[in-house]
């Protein structure tokens, strides 16, 4: 689980672990861990989205809970700060009637020098059933999945610059709810592709679901050098990239990862790559505006657009719960079969 720390123009996206699917699928093709979208097939992604659809109706119930994972213990193992993702994973687990334990490693063992494996073994000894892992290093979730006891599932809630599969799935769910068929859609992903695990997972998911056209729009300094291998159309000009698109996915400008001066200034970035009301008019009239949050208003997106009629940013948060419920119940089910 090493990752090159070089973050300069031309840096490559981290390589996925060897044969991730042997790790994340059972022998009969069921999802056992959710580590990466890469390598999954269209049927499985569709099954996840369909299952999420049945959970999405749950808000109509007086009791917003199902007893599916009653008696299971799910551990949120977060080595990196996160509010939204952790909260929605926690709510998803609770709505499935599981017990949830939040372990924030920053403030406990890491400072005492306990190794990742030690931490894992200790929590495993408490007879838990699932780990939801976020870690700043690419490949951390794979590493944990390789070492957990059989019967425990691992969900990747974001590892370094590698993958964030449930975020990509909730984005696909949001798109499908509004647009239906992917094959006729033009989707533009705009912003910091180089540092974004979200973008990488989205690109895989969109391609697996046979999206008509996937575009990435970014300055050269925020594109990986192997971008041409990702099966996307590359644009360095936002106006051209937005022309007639059905979905715009804005990425967060990762200020915390920008120490190596990829950009002259945030202000200039906004001038060139910020999504403004004026630019939105270049897209299809019924275009969706998405953002994984939290949005930097006035840096990558204008407030009026983030809050405007095309925006489905808050819906993404709501659907995140349903999608995570679907993934959690499917991986727990796969162990039993």
Partner 1 sequence: MTTPDVPTLLDDMAEQARHYLKTHGIAAPIVVGIHSGGVWIAEHLRERLGVERPLGRLDISFYRDDFSRIGMHPQVRPSELPEDLDGEHVLLVDDVLYSGRTIRAALNELFDYGRPASVTLAVLVERDGRELPIAAAIVGAHMELGKTEQIKLRGPEPLRLERVTIDPEDLKA
Q: Which are the catalytic amino acids?
A: 84-85, 112, 134, 164
Region 49-68 residues binding partner 1, contact defined as CB under 8 A: 50-51, 53-54, 56-57, 60-63, 65-68
Torsion of CA 57, 63, 69, 73, to 10 degrees: 120
Tokens at 146, concatenated: 């390789």
Q: What region does 160 belong to: left with phi over 0, alpha with psi -120 to 50, or beta?
A: left
Q: Considering beta carbons, is residue 72 or 262 the nearer one to partner 1?
A: 72
- Please name the helix (run of DSSP H) or strand (run of DSSP E) that holds residue 208, with its range, or none: helix 197-208
Q: Considering beta carbons, is residue 71 or 113 the nearer one to partner 1?
A: 71
Decide if residue 336 touches partner 1 (CB under 8 A): yes
Q: What region does 128 belong to: left with phi over 0, alpha with psi -120 to 50, or beta?
A: beta
Decide if residue 27 touches partner 1 (CB under 8 A): no
Decide if residue 169 touches partner 1 (CB under 8 A): no
Decide if residue 48 touches partner 1 (CB under 8 A): no
Decide if residue 107 touches partner 1 (CB under 8 A): no
Give phi and psi for 159, each to the nearest 5: -125, 110
The residue range among 47-55, 155-163, 241-249, 281-289 that interacts with partner 1, by the rule CB under 8 A, is 47-55
H-assigned helices in the chain:
20-24, 42-56, 84-95, 109-112, 116-124, 140-147, 165-179, 197-208, 238-242, 266-273, 277-280, 303-306, 313-336
Q: Considering beta carbons, is residue 68 or 272 the nearer one to partner 1?
A: 68
Q: Considering beta carbons, is residue 72 or 164 the nearer one to partner 1?
A: 72
Shortest separation between residue 61's beta carbon and partner 1, angstroms: 5
Rg of the chain over all Cα atoms, to the nearest angstrom: 19
Interface residues with partner 1 (CB under 8 A) are: 30, 47, 50-51, 53-54, 56-57, 60-63, 65-68, 71, 329-330, 332-337
């Amino acid at each position: 689980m090493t990752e090159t720390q070089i973050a300069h123009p031309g840096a490559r996206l981290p390589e996925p672990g060897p044969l991730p699917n042997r790790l994340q699928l059972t022998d009969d093709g069921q999802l056992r861990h959710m580590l990466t979208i890469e390598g999954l097939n269209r049927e499985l992604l569709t099954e996840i989205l369909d299952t999420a659809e049945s959970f999405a109706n749950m808000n109509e119930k007086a009791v917003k809970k199902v007893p599916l994972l009653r008696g299971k213990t799910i551990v949120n193992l977060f080595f990196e700060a996160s509010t939204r993702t952790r909260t929605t994973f926690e709510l998803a687990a609770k709505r499935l009637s599981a017990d949830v334990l939040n372990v924030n490693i920053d403030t406990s063992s890491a400072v005492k020098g306990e190794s990742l494996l030690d931490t894992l073994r200790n929590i495993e000894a408490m007879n838990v059933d699932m780990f939801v892992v976020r870690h700043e290093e690419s490949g951390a979730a794979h590493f944990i999945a390789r070492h957990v006891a059989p019967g425990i599932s691992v969900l990747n809630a974001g590892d370094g610059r590698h993958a964030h599969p449930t975020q990509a799935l909730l984005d696909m769910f949001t798109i499908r709810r509004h647009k239906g068929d992917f094959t006729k859609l033009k989707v533009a992903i705009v912003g910091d592709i180089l540092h974004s695990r979200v973008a990488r997972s989205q690109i895989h998911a969109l391609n697996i679901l046979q999206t008509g056209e996937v575009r990435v729009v970014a300055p050269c300094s925020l594109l990986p050098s192997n971008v041409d291998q990702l099966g996307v159309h590359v644009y360095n000009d936002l106006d051209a990239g937005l022309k007639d698109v059905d979905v715009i996915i804005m990425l967060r400008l990762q200020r915390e990862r920008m120490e190596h001066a990829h950009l002259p200034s945030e202000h200039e970035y906004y001038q060139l790559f910020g999504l403004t009301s004026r630019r939105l008019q270049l897209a299809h009239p019924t275009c969706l505006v998405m953002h994984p949050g939290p949005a930097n208003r006035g840096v990558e997106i204008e407030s009026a657009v983030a809050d405007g009629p095309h925006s489905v940013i808050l819906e993404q948060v709501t659907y995140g719960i349903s999608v995570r419920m679907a993934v959690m119940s499917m991986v727990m089910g796969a162990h039993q079969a």
